[in-house]
């Protein structure tokens, strides 16, 4: 029997794009309550991530038969919070949540942060319309960060001058500044928070140079939003390993969302890393397998999913379903 490499709740969303085994792994942090919850989700029937592509079929069904739903007032206000209630319900919600997590980190005195949304929709930038969608999502992040920090001098640094110029022309009402990694001086003295939007591995030297410049007294926060600093296509050589050890290790992953074959790995600062597995009794929902202080590696995930109890007569184990992704992660991490 063939097994899917992604959770069931992502199946509908992935049909429009090809799945790749390339994993852009980055190093290792708001309460997850920052995402607004709709009445539908309060009914405890909303499948996680249903709205990551298009309108949720559940919402359509709910609007057509609202009179048959259980009144919200009938719910017990003291109902225990479910394991996956901290997870966002859609992609925009995840981006806003990442902005809130970054703001919480900055407000607490943090200076180097990474936000990673390891979702296929944000990995295939060569697909038609993919970059335009990515830029729009980056604006959601930037505006959330500005709102939550109250900072009026945020600079967005884009991968190339063309994208920066186009977006500056398009977003004339933007509350943040624009620059590119190829600019002679992308960061000015008056800039208070710098956000690098999907910095590319080809610009590693520029990224590190800007980061060092921001470490002056007083240090200014730098947030890398969904960076693509490692590529399997170019291999993992000495320079990349050196960068991983001495540069990227100085950053805190304040937000991470990674779907796996049998569940998901999630972190929302200041919370711990959480490993979820599929709730077989409620398709599209997750149960919490374990919380960790640091990012779980491939071996951790193998142990965690291997310890999830299953009945002998049920379908193959979560560990078996996840084997393909585990081997890919393992190969990559050992190279690092």
Model confidence over 150-205: pLDDT tens digits?
A: 999 999 999 999 999 999 999 999 999 999 998 999 999 999 999 999 998 778 88
Residues shown for the chain: 336
Q: State the Cα–Cα distance between residues 41 and 84, nearest whole angstrom.
A: 11
Q: Check residue 93 and give its pLDDT.
A: 95
Range of the domain at 135: 24-35+83-335
153 occurs within a structural domain = yes
Residue 62 falls inside a structural domain: no
Local structure of residue 80 (DSSP, 8 states)? P
In a domain, 18, yes or no: no
The number of folded domains in the chain is 1
Contacts of 143 (CB under 8 A, 6+ apart): 99, 175, 176
For residue 116, give the H/E element and its range: strand 112-117
**Distance, CA of 205 to CA of 156 (rounded, Å):** 18
The tokens describing 193, both together, are 């928070």
pLDDT given for residue 91 in this prediction: 92
pTM, full prediction: 0.72
Task: Assess if residue 64 is contained within a domain.
Answer: no
Give the DSSP letter of residue 289: E
Res 284: pLDDT:
85
Low-confidence residues of the chain: pLDDT under 70: 1-79, 125-128, 230-241, 244, 309-336
Greatest C-alpha distance within the chain: 64
Within the chain, residue ranges assigned H as helices are: 11-14, 39-42, 57-64, 91-107, 130-149, 161-170, 204-213, 238-246, 298-306, 318-321, 323-335
Within a domain: residue 258?
Answer: yes
**Residue 14 in domain:** no
Give a yes or no: residue 217 inside a domain: yes
What residues have CB less than 8 Å from 281, skipping those under 6 apart? none
Main-chain dihedrals φ then ψ at residue 16, nearest 5 degrees: -90, 0
Structural tokens at position 155: 């600079």
Instruction: Give the whole-angstrom CA distance, residue 198 versus residue 201.
Output: 10
Confirm whether 12 is domain-assigned: no
């Amino acid at each position: 029997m063939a097994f899917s490499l992604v959770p069931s709740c992502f199946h509908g969303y992935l049909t429009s794009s090809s799945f790749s085994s390339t994993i852009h792994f980055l190093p290792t942090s708001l309460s997850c309550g920052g995402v607004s919850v709709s009445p539908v989700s309060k009914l405890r029937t909303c499948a996680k991530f249903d709205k990551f592509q298009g309108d949720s079929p559940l919402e359509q069904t709910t609007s057509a038969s609202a009179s048959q739903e259980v009144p919200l007032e009938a719910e017990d206000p003291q109902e225990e919070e479910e394991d996956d209630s901290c997870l966002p319900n859609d992609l925009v919600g995840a981006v806003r949540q990442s902005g809130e997590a970054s703001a919480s980190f900055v407000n607490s005195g943090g200076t180097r942060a990474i936000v990673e949304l390891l979702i296929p929709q944000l990995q295939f930038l060569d697909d038609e319309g993919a970059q335009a969608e990515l830029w729009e999502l980056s604006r959601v992040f930037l505006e959330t960060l500005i709102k939550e920090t109250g900072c009026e001098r945020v600079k967005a640094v884009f991968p190339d001058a063309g994208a920066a110029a186009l977006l500056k022309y398009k977003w004339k009402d933007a509350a943040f500044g624009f620059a590119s990694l190829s600019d002679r001086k992308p960061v000015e003295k008056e800039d208070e928070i710098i956000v690098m939007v999907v910095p590319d591995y080809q610009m590693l030297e520029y990224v590190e140079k800007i980061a060092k410049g921001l470490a002056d007294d007083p240090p200014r926060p730098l947030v890398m939003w969904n960076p693509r600093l490692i590529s399997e296509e170019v291999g993992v050589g000495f320079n990349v390993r050196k960068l991983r050890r001495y540069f990227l290790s100085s950053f805190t992953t304040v937000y991470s969302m990674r779907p796996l074959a049998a569940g998901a790995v999630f972190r929302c600062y200041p919370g711990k890393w959480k490993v979820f597995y599929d709730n077989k009794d409620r398709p599209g929902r997750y149960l919490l397998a374990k919380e960790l202080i640091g990012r779980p590696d491939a071996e951790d995930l193998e142990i965690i999913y291997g310890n999830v109890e299953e009945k002998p007569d049920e379908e193959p184990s979560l560990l078996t379903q996840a084997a393909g992704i585990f081997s890919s992660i393992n190969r990559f991490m050992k190279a690092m």
